[in-house]
Structure 1
Amino acid sequence: MNDHSCTTSEAADALGICVRTVQLWVEQGRLRAWKTPGGHRRILRSSVDEQLRAREEACGAPAESFGVLIVEDDEVLRQMLVSKLKGISPKIELRVAGNGVEGLIKFGERPPQVLITDLIMPGLDGFHMLNTLVSSTQNRPLQIIAVTGLDDEEIVRNGGVPEGVVVFHKPIQASLLVSLVRAYYDGWHVRRVPPG
């Protein structure tokens, strides 16, 4: 990284996000960039610093809310999940995305403790999004839950899911998914409460 600009990879490392998210942020105008005569993208260091400052201001103290990011293209299922999960605690911050690209962007803005994602979506699907997140970022969520209409063989044919991902087959049993998220929340909450 020089004083004025850095590579896409260097920006990703500095921001703790994946290279694809940096590319998306450049396309959205959140990061300012230019291209070398050879066509390589360079990110203005001041732009990276602005994102880091904005994150620090937004985070300030340690997170007081338990973040859950739902990435699902089916709006009915997405709203049902929001409705069921918001009853766990007022400290749960629910965010939603309609596809993998939007999911990567929201993940990069503020990594959640739990990521719930569909595997088959238009554009960037859940398989590619998960592989990008797991392989390219240090900010892996506490837990990843995949919700899919695919059977186990179809999941394997599509490349499988990263180790540790819990898979719920559609139609999902919402009560089981809510119980799992509640258990993750309870574990997070216990770690955050100082001994009395």
Structure 2
Amino acid sequence: MTKGYVGIGEAAKILELSRTSIQKLVDSGQLAAVRTTGGHRRIIRESIEELNQKIGPKAMLRLAAKNPGLAPPVSSETISRPDKVQVLVVEDDPVTAALLTGIFSKSYPEVQCTVATDGLDAVLQLERTRPRIMITDLRMEPFDGFKLIQMVSARAEYQCIAMIAISGMSDSDIEKRGGLPNHVLFLGKPVNLDRLRGFLEAHVQMHRQNR
């Protein structure tokens, strides 16, 4: 490999994104890459540097809004419906994600869940679903819940989104990362399901009253 090219792993470290997110950017043409005779992708370093200059939080949101092709295909079950309480679950652990969505679907037919597997995926889904509630894990690699919450809190059009952060991190560890905004509800792992249901019940009741 020459100095002008890097692998997906190194590109992920430079841009602080997951390997899956880098692959999406390559597939969409946002990152220029070539394929070696062995079938491996090599990304042109210059394109990484160019993207790195404009991939801050606001630029990431613009990228998502202008390039819906970056997001995974959306089925009719996922498309946002105004008659539903939209909930976005951001969780890289499939077991936890299945637990949360299972609780909602069994107890509340008015709730429609969308799952994002990391922070970048969540940014893309936010533009599509505009959820009423966002539940995010804090400890995800490399685009974590802290970055996601900061981005959502900074956008005026997302001020109506109620946010829940879930994590096994201690209070001191969270404070070392800068803490969480006062408007974000924190639930430690294992999640207190009664408290989560109570939070969701309040939003479902408001939805019923406003229909």
Task: Call closer, same or farther: CA 1:26–1:191 in 2, change over 3 Å.
Answer: closer
1:9-61 residue CA offsets vs partner (Å, 9 max, x unmatched): xxxxxxxxx5422224556646xxxxxxxxxxxxxxxxxxxxxxxxxxx77xx
Task: Call closer, same or farther: CA 1:123–1:68 in 2, change over 3 Å.
Answer: same
Tell me the residue number matched to 1:101: 120
Q: Which moved more, 1:134-143 or 1:93-102?
A: 134-143
Among all aligned residue pairs of Structure 1 and Structure 2, give the percentage whose two residues are the same amino acid.
Answer: 25
Q: Normalising by structure 1, what TM-score?
A: 0.68
Q: Which moved more, 1:182-191 or 1:108-117?
A: 182-191
- Tell whether 2:154 aligns with 1:135: yes
Residue among 107, 119, 122 paired with 1:88: 107
Shift of 1:65: 0.9
Tell me the residue number matched to 2:136: 117
SS at match of 1:115: strand
Shift of 1:140: 2.8
Cα pair 1:81 1:174 within 8 Å, conserved: no
1:19, 1:118 → 2: CA distance?
22
Cα pair 1:67 1:111 within 8 Å, conserved: yes
Tell me the residue number matched to 1:12: none
Task: Call closer, same or farther: CA 1:112–1:85 in 2, change over 3 Å.
Answer: same
Letter in 2 for 1:110: T
Tell me the residue number matched to 1:38: none
Residue among 44, 61, 65 paired with 1:21: 61
1:37-116 matched pairs, under 5 angstroms: 63-116=82-135
Task: Call closer, same or farther: CA 1:187–1:78 in 2, change over 3 Å.
Answer: same
1:188, 1:19 → 2: CA distance?
33
Q: How many residues align?
A: 147
- Tell whether 2:179 aligns with 1:177: no
Question: Structure 2 stretches of 5 or more lacking a match?
Answer: 1-57, 71-78
Letter in 1 for 2:114: R
Residue among 119, 143, 149 paired with 2:168: 149
Shift of 1:176: 2.0
1:141-179 residue CA offsets vs partner (Å, 9 max, x unmatched): 441111011111111111111221000000112232122
Cα pair 1:19 1:136 within 8 Å, conserved: no
Q: Normalising by structure 2, what TM-score?
A: 0.63
Runs of 4+ in structure 1 off by over 3 angstroms are 24-30
Cα pair 2:92 2:118 within 8 Å, conserved: yes
- Tell whether 2:145 aligns with 1:126: yes
CA RMSD of aligned residues (A): 2.2
Cα pair 1:71 1:97 within 8 Å, conserved: yes
